[in-house]
Amino acid sequence: MPDHSRLAGGAEFDAVRALLARWGSVAKGIGDDAAVLDVPRGDSLVASVDATIEGRHFREGWLAPEEIGYRSATAALSDLAAMAARPLAMLVALTLPERWRPRLDALADGLGEAAREHGLPIVGGNISNADELSITITVLGSAREVLRRNTLSPGDALWLTGALGGPGAAIRAWSNGSAPHEAHRARFSRPSARIHEARWLAAAGATAAIDVSDGLAADLGQLAAASGVIVDVELERVPLVVGVSAEQAIASGEEYELVVGARGDFEATAFTERFGIPLTRIGAVRAGVVDVVLTRAGSRVANPPGYDHLSR
Amino acid sequence: MPDHSRLAGGAEFDAVRALLARWGSVAKGIGDDAAVLDVPRGDSLVASVDATIEGRHFREGWLAPEEIGYRSATAALSDLAAMAARPLAMLVALTLPERWRPRLDALADGLGEAAREHGLPIVGGNISNADELSITITVLGSAREVLRRNTLSPGDALWLTGALGGPGAAIRAWSNGSAPHEAHRARFSRPSARIHEARWLAAAGATAAIDVSDGLAADLGQLAAASGVIVDVELERVPLVVGVSAEQAIASGEEYELVVGARGDFEATAFTERFGIPLTRIGAVRAGVVDVVLTRAGSRVANPPGYDHLSR
């Protein structure tokens, strides 16, 4: 990694060497003080950072180390998807407790797999000893035109990729001491960053976007607040994973699905044929004082509490 | 911050709001899933990440929270300096224990001050609850031509900015339970990222560069290894802070001074007039099997052990 691959030896260098060995050709240009990259001419640079912390974003025993790595990268990549950006590169900063050292290879494999899937090189990072495992990922992307949160307009329809509720159901099961349904577990352990889907949606006329990381209702609150609008969502329309209620689904975080606005309709069938997941019109946007209005059979239902990492 | 400024409220949003209030106009374009930036046309993007962890990079009681924030940003910015890049933007990822919450404003002030000094906006970040304080900073910069580590050539002279030994002396004093000399403490608590100095050196013909983060001897080892050369350093030539031996100075880490190679001479007097610090020729580069050869009065002296964060 640029700033800490001390060739002079030591435990830190051993850890970096282990990472580089696992990453192979997905690690690129590492070994200087910083990475040097080219942003495609005419594109803007898109940058975001996201952290995954043991005991906050997952508990030991829930996930295999490969899954923790994969998931951390996906969470960061999802921010690029929400901007409809093309991934350019990733930097990985780890704080690594002694007891995680034997699992470093597996963590690296998960990170490397996510990077490889999206064709983005790991160009730098940092590794520090610590008492808590944390994986802080900076993603760099590029886009000619980005999708923002503050560009939703009254009259837009609201669309959602995929089906919700899996991660929430998996966490409920684990928290109750039971094994989650495999479909729920997979949605938590191996989420997808909707990078390609976002670019399809942007090209097809999406007006605004956000990724579902804190739960649909909470993220719609962000979108509504940023755009200064009311969003109406019919709960019956929200696609659900098996065995989950709409109320549970809209409070389920870390879904990494996308909500986008659109003036007209999308060709949802073409989207599903291409990406293998639904694209569903779940509501609409109107003018008024910022609000998220959830209805079932035409009657308003209460909004769930927001998903708050810090209060967990 | 792009991905976690949950307008829906909660402790996390309160923390983000506190940061944004302290940062004022230095925080720019925050509030979407990712930051959108323009890299100057014709420039490459330069990116690096660096983490500062409580108990590893400093101990509680050594530094005021403002100093911890300032220092964290400087450590990251120093990697841009080592590439002779112009700072473009910074992203700040914090893991924040409950007991650090009352000091969040002060941490933010230190980060904000470093950003303001270098005219670089804070464009995003992440905040998570945790048991350990960590500050992970991604710096983004740009450069038409960067200074690398692997471009030192036999025949180059080696030059050093500033005077070494302060941070090492401060840590020794604290570790012995005494108060460090104020000049030593200041070099640890308020280091400078040599951003402007690096661009001056690059324009004046520097051939390669590294910043002194692990101690001069260890970092010279990196430079020698990357370039496949032997570097010779005369210890008598290394500028020292008051009350420190050359042996101590070359093992002192987190200096954030620069070592550069050059084919010819620099106008050291002009450099010092401009930047208020010395620029000193400390050695030379020759062909041979990678090594750092330290001499005093013409005789070789032993290399100090490398500085290794993980083993501390």
Q: Give the model confidence (pLDDT) of B74-132 as tens digits.
A: 999 999 999 999 999 999 999 999 999 999 999 999 999 999 999 999 999 999 999 99
Contact B56 A130 (CB under 8 A): yes
Q: Which residues, including other chains, have CB under 8 Å from residue B291's CB and lie 6 or more apart? A: B224, B230, B231
Shortest distance, CA B278 to any CA of chain A (angstroms) = 23
- pLDDT above 70: residue B294: yes
- Token code pair at residue B51: 């983490």
Q: Measured between beta carbons, which residues in chain A are less than 8 angstroms from residue B32?
A: 82-83, 148-150, 226
**B14 vs A135: which has the higher pLDDT:** A135
Q: Measured between beta carbons, which residues in chain B are less than 8 angstroms from residue A221?
A: 6-8
Strand partners, B142: B45, B86
pTM, full prediction: 0.93
Residue A14's pLDDT is what? 84
- pLDDT above 90: residue A12: no
Phi, psi (degrees; rounded to nearest 5) at A10: 100, 170
Q: How many residues does chain B have?
A: 312
Q: Among A172, A120, A310, A106, which Cα is nearest to B17's?
A: A310
- pLDDT above 50: residue B312: no
Nearest CA in chain B to A96: B310
Contact B93 A38 (CB under 8 A): no
Nearest CA in chain A to B9: A306
Strand partners, B138: B49, B91
Question: Residue B208: helix, strand or coil by DSSP?
Answer: strand
Q: Among A165, A157, A134, which Cα is nearest to A50's?
A: A134
Residue A96's pLDDT is what? 93
- Measure CB to CB from residue B34 to each of A9, A85, A124 and give the nearest one: A85
Rounded to the nearest 10 degrees, what angle do helices A65-82 and A182-189 cross at?
Answer: 70
Tally of CB atoms within 10 A around A256: 24
Q: Which residues, including other chains, have CB under 8 Å from residue B126's CB and lie 6 or more apart? A: A49, A50, A51, A136, B1, B3, B4, B91, B92, B93, B94
Residue A61's pLDDT is what? 86
Distance, CA of A36 to CA of B43 (rounded, Å): 10
User: What is the residue-averaged pLDDT of chain B?
Assistant: 92
Chain A contact probe: residue of B30, B33, B152, B292 with most A CBs at under 10 A: B33
- Measure CB to CB from residue B2 to each of A9, A48, A55 and give the nearest one: A48
Shortest distance, CA A51 to any CA of chain B (angstroms) = 7
Shortest distance, CA A88 to any CA of chain B (angstroms) = 11
Question: Residue B72: helix, strand or coil by DSSP?
Answer: helix
- pLDDT above 80: residue A177: yes
- pLDDT above 80: residue B47: yes
Contact A149 B33 (CB under 8 A): yes
Q: Measured between beta carbons, which residues in chain B are less than 8 angstroms from residue A32?
A: 82-83, 148-150, 226
Q: Look at the alpha carbons of A164, A170, A171, A173 in this order and tell me if their dihedral is positive or negative.
A: positive
Q: Look at the alpha carbons of A132, A135, A138, A143 in this order and tell me if their dihedral is positive or negative.
A: negative
- Measure CB to CB from residue A37 to each of B13, B44, B131 and give the nearest one: B44
Residue A9's pLDDT is what? 45
Beta strands A299-301 and A258-262: pairing type? unpaired
Shortest distance, CA A81 to any CA of chain B (angstroms) = 9
Counting residues of chain B whose pLDDT is more than 90, the rounded percentage is 87
Q: Measured between beta carbons, which residues in chain A are less than 8 angstroms from residue B311?
A: 10-12
Distance, CA of A255 to CA of A188 (rounded, Å): 8
Distance, CA of A2 to CA of B222 (rounded, Å): 11
| In the block, residue with structure tokens 């090492």 | B168
Shortest distance, CA B10 to any CA of chain A (angstroms) = 6
Distance, CA of B211 to CA of A197 (rounded, Å): 42
Tally of CB atoms within 10 A around A299: 7
Residue A11's pLDDT is what? 73
Query: Nearest 5 degrees, angle CA B77-CA A310-CA A140?
Result: 40
Contact B132 A128 (CB under 8 A): no
> B50-64, pLDDT tens digit by residue?
999 998 888 888 999
B61 and B68 Cβ atoms separated by less than 8 Å: no
- pLDDT above 90: residue B311: no
Distance, CA of A1 to CA of A205 (rounded, Å): 39
Shortest distance, CA B189 to any CA of chain A (angstroms) = 20
Nearest CA in chain A to B226: A31
A79 and A139 Cβ atoms separated by less than 8 Å: yes
- pLDDT above 60: residue A193: yes
Q: In the predicted model, what is the mean pLDDT of residues A257-270?
A: 96
A45 and B123 Cβ atoms separated by less than 8 Å: no
Range A70-106 burial, b when 16+ CB lie within 10 A, else e: bbbbbbbbbbbbbbbbbbbbbbbbbbbeeebeebbeb
Q: Measured between beta carbons, which residues in chain B are less than 8 angstroms from residue A209?
A: 33
> B221-274, pLDDT tens digit by residue?
999 999 999 999 999 999 999 999 999 999 999 999 999 999 989 999 999 999
Q: In the predicted model, what is the mean pLDDT of residues A98-102?
A: 94
**A58 vs B37: which has the higher pLDDT:** B37
Shortest distance, CA B250 to any CA of chain A (angstroms) = 14
- pLDDT above 80: residue A8: no
SS (H, E, C) A162-220: CCECHHHHHHHHHHCCCCCCHHHHHHHHCCCCCHHHHHHHHHCCEEEEEECCCCHHHHH
- pLDDT above 70: residue B148: yes
User: What is the residue-averaged pLDDT of chain A?
Assistant: 92
- Measure CB to CB from residue B131 to each of A13, A124, A131 and give the nearest one: A131
Strand partners, B7: none
B214 and B57 Cβ atoms separated by less than 8 Å: no
Query: Nearest 5 degrees, angle CA B229-CA B234-CA B235?
Result: 125
Q: How many residues does chain A have?
A: 312
Helix (H) or strand (E) holding B122: strand B122-129
- Measure CB to CB from residue B49 to each of A93, A221, A308 and give the nearest one: A93
Contact A51 B93 (CB under 8 A): yes
Helical H segments across A42-153, by residue range: 65-82, 104-117
Residue A206's pLDDT is what? 98
User: Confidence class of residue B283 from pLDDT cuts 50, 70 and 90?
Assistant: very high
- Measure CB to CB from residue A138 to each of B49, B55, B132 and give the nearest one: B49
- pLDDT above 50: residue B209: yes
Q: Among B139, B312, B107, which Cα is nearest to A35's?
A: B139
| In the block, residue with structure tokens 């996390």 | B12
The ipTM, to two decimals, is 0.92
| In the block, residue with structure tokens 């500028």 | B239
Contact A140 B308 (CB under 8 A): no
Distances (CA, A) of A220 to A217, A252, B292: 5, 13, 58
Contact B146 A36 (CB under 8 A): yes
Distance, CA of B162 to CA of B41 (rounded, Å): 33
Question: Residue A88: helix, strand or coil by DSSP?
Answer: strand
Shortest distance, CA A239 to any CA of chain B (angstroms) = 23
User: Confidence class of residue A4 from pLDDT cuts 50, 70 and 90?
Assistant: very low
- pLDDT above 50: residue A311: no
Helical H segments across B7-103, by residue range: 11-23, 65-82
Residue B216's pLDDT is what? 97
User: Confidence class of residue B10 from pLDDT cuts 50, 70 and 90?
Assistant: low
- Token code pair at residue B263: 């084919």
Q: Among B135, B134, B127, B138, which Cα is nearest to B13's?
A: B127
Distance, CA of B129 to CA of B96 (rounded, Å): 5
- Measure CB to CB from residue B8 to each of A79, A95, A306 and give the nearest one: A306
